[in-house]
Structure 1
Amino acid sequence: MKKWFMLFAALVLFVMLVACNNQDTTKEEPSDDTQENQESTDPNAEMNTDAEIELNFWVFGSAGYETLAEEYMKENPNIKITINAGEMEDMHNNLFTSISAGSGAPDISMIEVSNIAKFMEASDRFYNLYDYGANDVKDSYLEWKWKQAESVDGSFQIGLPTDIGPTTMFYRTDVMEEAGLPTDPVELAAEIDTWDAYYETAKKIKETTGKPITDSPQLMFNAIRDQQQQQYFNENDELIMEDTVKEAYDFTTKMIQEGLIGQNELWTPEWGSAMTDGSYATLIGAPAWMIANVKANAPDAGGKWSLTTIPEGAGNWGGSFLTIPKESEYPQEAYDFIEWLVSPENQLKSFHSNGLFPSAPEVYEDEAFLATTDEYFSGAETARIFAEAAESVQPVYMGINYSIVDSELVTALINVAVEGADPQAEWDAAVDRITRQLERQ
C-alpha cells in the first residue's frame, strides 16, 4: 500500500507542475514600457549609489580651496571636484557670458561682493539656495554679509558667504613716534577716535614730519563712505549721492587741498613703494586681505607697521560668495559641498592657511584665533582687531551700477589731488558723467 501511495502522490505532483507550466506559457508577455515601469518602481531594485558626480568649481584669487576639496572628496568618494582658477575680472565676465548663453557655466562659481548685485539681476539663472538648506545655516554668518547676497524681499539667496574685508587703520610706528604720537594700538585708537580727531592728527603729523597722514585720496574717501548704511543707490536703484557720499568727498578734498593727503593712486608702483619708504603715517580703511599687499610691497619693513581700529566704526571692502548656476545637474550635491566648505570650522582653516578672514562669528570665539598676532605688524592682535571691526559693519545695498559711480568719483578725487582741480567742479562733472552713463543702462 505504501508503494502505491507514493506512486499516486508523484503522479499528482507531475500533473500540477505541467498545469502551472502551461498557464505561464499562455500568459500575455508585458510590454517593454510595463517592464521598465516595474523596474523603476520596484523598491528592491538595485540602485547605483556609487556613481561618480563631478562638480566644476570656478574660483579667483588665492582662496586655497584645493586642500579642502581634497579632504571633502576623501570623505565623499563618489564626488569629484575640479577647481578652475582665473583672474577675478575674467572669471566674472566668463560666468556672465555662460549664464546668458545657457551653456558653459560651472556647477559652482565664486562671485565677488561688488559683482553680486549684477548677478542677482539674473537670479533666474541660479539656484535659490533657500531651496537646498541655506535657511538652516543663515544664522551662522554675520547678518550684513548674508544680506549682501539676498534679494531685497528676503526670498532668494544666491550665494553662501566666504571671506570678508572689515576695514581698520594700518599705521607706521616710526612716523607716529616722530610726530610724538602713541605707537601702541589701543592708545592710538583712543587718540584718533573720530574723523575730527583724525584731521587734527593729520595737521600735527604734517607740522612735525612734513608727511601726509595718508597717501591715497581713494582710501580716505572709501574709509568714510564704507561706514554709511546708504552709499550710491537705494534699494530701488535710485542714485543717492548728495548726502553721506558728498560729505565723504568734501572731507577728503579738504584734506587734499591742505596737503594732508598724498597723490598716489591705488595699485600703482608709487603706491607700493610708499609702503617701504614710510612717506606717510596711515593706510586708512585697509581690509584684512591688505596685510598680504603690505608685506609683498615692503618685505623689509617688518616692525615698522602696526594696525588698530578705524575712527567711528569699520566698513567692509571685499569678500565673496559661492553660487550654483542653473546649468548644474547636481544642485543638492553642489550645495552640500559649499555648505561644508564655508562652515565655521573650515573658515577657520582657510584663515590659518590663506588669510581669508571669516564671515562666521562663531570663529571669533575661538581662543587660538583671537590670540593670533603678527610680528610684521609689531605683534598686534590682528585677528581680534579685525573681528571687532567686522561686528561693527553696517549692511549696505550696493546696486548693479556701483562700479560706474565709484570709478567716476575716483577720477574726480585724483584730478583734485594730482592736477589741483576745483573739488566742486570735479564733483559736478563726475555727477554729469554718471547720470549720462546710467541713462544708457
Structure 2
Amino acid sequence: MKKWLMMLAVILLFGFLVACNDDDTSGESEGNSSESENGEESAEGSEASGEEVELNFWLFGSTGYDVLIEEYMEENPNVKITLNEGEMEDVHNNLFTSISAGSGAPDISLVEVSQVAKFLEASDRFHNLNDLGAGDVKDKYLDWKWQQASSVDGDFQIGLPTDIGPTTMFYRTDVMEEAGFPTDPEELSAEIDTWDAYYEAAKEIKEKTGKPISDSPELMFNARRDQLPQQYFNEEDELIIEDTVKEAYDFTTMMIEEGLVGQNALWTPEWGSAMEEGSYATLIGAPAWMIANVKGNAPDSSGKWSLTNIPEGAGNWGGSFLTIPADSEHPEEAYAFIEWLVSPENQLKSFHNNGLFPSTPEVYEDEEFLATTDEYFSGAETARIFAEAAESVQPVYMGVNYATVNNELVTALTNVAVEGLDPQEEWDAAVERIESQLERQ
C-alpha cells in the first residue's frame, strides 16, 4: 500500500510540473509572436517570468536613440539596455572582429548600408530576423530599403531598417537668381527636369555668373550613378561598370572639361567653405542628412539655400540597419526592442528630434510631418520633397566590393578635375586597378 501511495504521489507531482511548464512556455510563445505595431507586447514572455535581461547595443552617429532607450526601459523595467557609442568605422571593425572570433559581439549593432553586404557574407554569425518575426513588419518599410539588408533570395534578413538618405538638389537661390533662373523649388524643378536641361543650365550659369553649377566631381558622378538600377556589380558579383556607370562617368568628365564642375573633394575645408561663399549653384545628389552639413559649414547663409527634386529621379545615399549577432543570448528580447525602436511612430520621433529621415512610408502621410519646413532653406517643404524622392528610389545591389570600385573611380575623376588628365585614360587605369584588386579578394 505504501508503495502504491508513493507512486501515486510521484505521478501527481510530475503532472503538476508539466502543467506549470506548459503554462510558462505558452506565455513566452505568445509574447514572442506578438504582432503589436510598436513591439511592446513582444517581450511579454520575459516580463511574465520576471527575468531581467541586459542587452548590449553598439551604435554610431547622432541618432538620439539614447532618449528612446530610456523610454523603452521605463515601459519594460525587466530590460536593461547598455549603449556603447563609437565612430562608424570602429564599430564596424569591432563587430567584424568579434563575430569572426565567435565571442565579444553585442546583442544589437547598427550597420551602415555600405557595410551590409560584407556582413551578409557572414550571415551564419547573425540571427535571421525572419525567424524572429521580421516578415510581419516588412510591409511597413520601403521595399528598396528592406531589400538592402536581405539575401538575394530574400530568405535571410540581417537587419531592420533605420533611416535613409534620399537625394535631392540643394541650390543657392542667389546664384540661381543672378543667372536668371526661378528660385521657387517647384518652378526650378520644372525648368531643370532632365540631365540635358541640367547641362544647358550649367552653361547658362557659367556664362552669367562665372560659377560652376557644382563644385564636386564626386557628387556630380554620384547623382547620376545612384539613379541606375545596377551600378558596379550584378547579383552574381560580376563587375559591370562598362555597361552601367560609364555613362555617368563620361557625363561628369565632360562637365569638368567644360569648366562646369569644380575641383573640391568632399569633406575638405575648401568644400565646406564653398557652401558659405556661394561659389557654385547646386549641391547635386544631396541626401536628407546633408542639411546638417550645410548649416554647419555655412551658418551665415540662411535663406540663400533651398532644395528641390533632382533631375530624372532620386537615388539614396546612406542609412543603416539594426542587426542581432548570433552571440546574443537574448535574441527575442533584442528583436522586440529593435522592432519598437524603428516602428513608424518612433521613426517619426527620430525625425523630429535628430533629423533621421524615416524609411517607413506610413510617416509620409502624417500631416505634421508633411508640414515640416526649414527657414534656413528658404522655407522649403523639406519633408515632402525628401519623401517624394524616397518613393522614387530604385533597389540596387551593391556587393561586398562596392567601396573598392568606388574609391578607384573617384580617384580617376579627381585626376581629371585637378590634374587635367585624359578622362578615358583615367577610366582605363581605374578599371585595371579595380580588376587587379578584385582578383586578390
TM-score by length of 2: 0.92
Question: In the TM superposition, what are the counterparts of 1:151-162 in structure 2 within 5 Å?
Answer: 151-162=151-162
Structure 1: which 4+ aligned runs deviate by more than 3 Å? 23-28, 34-42, 44-48
Rounded to whole Å, the distance in 2 between the matches of 1:249 and 1:325 is 38
Q: Distance in 2 between matches of 1:421 and 1:168?
A: 30
Superposition pairs of residues 42-81 of structure 1, within 5 angstroms: 43=20, 49-81=49-81
Distance 1:205 1:150 in 2: 43
Contact kept in structure 1, 2:232 and 2:244, CA below 8 Å = no
Does residue 85 of the first structure (1) align with residue 62 of the second (2)? no
Alpha carbons 1:39, 1:45 under 8 Å: kept: no
RMSD of aligned alpha carbons = 2.0
d(CA) in 1 for partners of 2:344, 2:186: 28
Q: 1:201 to 1:130 in 2, by over 3 A?
A: same
Structure 1 unaligned regions, length at least 5 = 1-19
Aligned letter for 1:403?
A: A
Deviation at 1:378, TM superposition (A): 0.2
Q: Map of 1:245-260 to 2, 5 A cutoff?
A: 245-260=245-260
Partner of 1:10: none
Matches of 2:333 and 2:12, distance apart in 1: 31
**Residue equivalent to 1:309:** 309
Matches within 5 A, 1:212-231: 212-231=212-231
Contact 1:58 1:110 in 2 (8 A): yes
Structure 1 contact 166–315 (Cα < 8 Å) conserved: yes
Give % identity: 78
Q: Secondary structure at the match of 2:57?
A: strand
Q: Which of the numbers 41, 49, 54 marks the counterpart of 2:18?
A: 41
Return closer, same or farther for 1:119/1:39 CA change in 2, 3 Å cut-off.
Answer: farther
2:368 maps to 368
CA shift, 1:41, in A, is 3.4
Say if 1:415 and 1:421, in contact at 8 Å, map to a contact too: yes
**Secondary structure at the residue paired with 2:229?**
coil
* Aligned equivalents of 1:96, 1:36: Cα separation in 2: 49
- Please give the residue correspondences for 1:191-202 in structure 2 after superposition, counting only pairs within 5 Å: 191-202=191-202
Q: 1:376 aligns to what SS in structure 2?
A: coil
Aligned amino acid, residue 41 of structure 1: V
Q: Classify the secondary structure of the residue corresponding to 1:375.
A: coil
What secondary structure does 2:241 align onto? coil
SS of residue in 1 equivalent to 2:347: helix
**Map of 1:17 onto structure 2:** none
Q: Give matches, 1:41-440, under 5 Å.
A: 41=18, 43=20, 49-440=49-440
Aligned-partner Cα distance in 2 for 1:89–1:431:
26
Q: Aligned to 1:377, what secondary structure does the other structure show?
A: coil
Contact 1:221 1:248 in 2 (8 A): yes
Q: Please list the CA deviations of residues 194-233 of structure 1 after superposition, one character each: whole Å capped at 9, or x if unmatched.
A: 0000000000000000000000000000000000000000
What letter is aligned with 1:329? E
Instruction: Measure, in 2, the Cα distance between the counterparts of 1:37 and 1:86.
Output: 52
One-letter code aligned to 1:261: V
Which residue identity is paired with 2:123? S
Give the Å deviation of 1:51. Answer: 2.2
How far the C-alpha of 1:50 sits from its partner, in A, is 1.5
Paired residue for 1:16?
none
Partner of 2:27: none
Paired residue type of 1:290: M
Q: Which amino acid aligns with 1:67?
A: V
Aligned residue pairs, count: 418
Q: Which residue identity lines up with residue 335 of structure 2 in the other structure?
A: Y
Partner of 2:34: none
Query: Residues of 1 paired with 2:343 and 2:100: CA distance?
Result: 31
- Cα deviation, residue 235, structure 1: 0.2
CA distance in 1, matches of 2:255, 2:409: 16
| CA-CA distance at 1:273 after TM superposition | 0.3
In the alignment, the residues of structure 1 paired with residue 68 and residue 269 of structure 2 have an alpha-carbon distance, to the nearest angstrom, of 35
Q: Deviations over 1:129-158 (max 9, x none)?
A: 010110000000000000000110111110
Give the distance between the partners of 1:379 and 1:419, measured in 2 at CA: 40
Gaps of 5+ in 2: 25-47
Alpha-carbon spacing, 1:175–1:101, altered in 2? closer, same or farther (3 Å):
same
**Offset of residue 418 of structure 1:** 0.3
Q: CA deviation at 1:49?
A: 1.5
Q: Once the two structures are superposed, what CA deviation does each residue of 1:297-327 show, in whole Å capped at 9, x if it has no partner? A: 0011000000000000000000000000000
Q: What is the CA–CA distance in structure 2 between the aligned matches of 1:157 and 1:222, rounded to whole Å?
A: 27
Q: 1:173 to 1:26 in 2, by over 3 A?
A: closer
- Distance in 1 between residues matched to 2:49 and 2:56, nearest whole Å: 20
Per the alignment, in what secondary structure is the counterpart of residue 229 of structure 1?
coil
Aligned partners of 1:165 and 1:318 also within 8 Å: yes
